[in-house]
Amino acid sequence: MIQLADNLWVRHYPLSILGSQHGRTVTVIRLKSGKLIIHSMAPFTAADVAEIRALGTPGWLVESMLLHDTYSRKGWQAFGSDLPFLGPPGFSEIVKFPTEPLLPAPPEWEGEIKVMPVGGAPKLLEHAFLHIPSRTLIVADLVFNFPANETGWNRFFHRHIAGIKGHPGMSRVFKMCITDPAAFIASVDDIIATRFERLIVGHGEVVERGGWEALAAAVKAALPGA
């Protein structure tokens, strides 16, 4: 685990899409109560689970959008099916095991975590997580942040097939799923208005500074009318 701030860690796992390296970022948040929110699942080993448990008491497993189910069952099994698993509406039908809604957020998160739905893309139903104490926003696929110096197939796939032009940038698939641009832009404006500093993306590198400006620029580039 890499500690980014007080009570905030990430770990990067491999994830290959058609031979390109997307990666998967798992974020662990420790609340004042000592309970952990484990955001995004991965192929956790027993050693991984032990390392996370050493940080606190696992309280919730989270997937924050409908298309983020790749490792959901593995994560659910690794930590035990008695742990609450939170997801967007309809997520349980996708993963075929019981999940609970992301909103309203658990009362224990009050003052530490704000969950903000991303509107206008009903096939995705992404929810952004703001870790208030560290001013960190955590997203799944809203934007990606692959290295600017990528080469070979990774660069070609991410730029020309996935359509990710910026760092960070929005994918062609996400843009295609936006059916109500006005609702999408309004929800992103609400997220940007929190003036978060750090941006953790589900795939790619963490943006340590200027996170809200980076997100605003990525959305502007993807939707010039935004």
Which pLDDT tens digit goes with each residue over 120-158?
999 999 999 999 999 999 999 999 887 777 667 556 555
pLDDT on residue 151: 60
Q: What are phi and psi of 133, to 5 degrees?
A: -60, -35
What are the residue ranges of helices labelled H in 66-180? 72-79, 91-95, 152-156, 172-176
Above 90 in pLDDT, residue 165?
no
pLDDT value at position 171?
86
Distances, alpha carbon 123 to alpha carbons 52, 56, 94, 179, in Å: 31, 34, 12, 9
Identify residue 21 by its one-letter amino acid code. Q
Domain regions of the chain by residue span = 2-222
Give the pLDDT confidence score for residue 114 in this predicted structure.
Answer: 98
What is this structure's pTM? 0.92
> Could you tell me what percent of the chain has a pLDDT over 70?
89
pLDDT for 208 equals 96
Res 183 pLDDT > 80: yes
Average pLDDT value for residue range 168-176: 87
Per-residue model confidence as pLDDT tens digits over 19-74: 667 778 999 999 999 999 999 999 999 999 999 999 999 999 999 999 888 889 99
Residue 118: pLDDT over 80 = yes
Q: For residues 133 and 112, is the Cβ–Cβ distance under 8 A?
A: yes
Strand order in the sheet with 24-30: 2-5, 8-13, 24-30, 35-39, 57-62, 85-87, 100-101
Architecture label for domain 2-222:
4-Layer Sandwich (3.60)
The mean pLDDT value of the chain amounts to 90
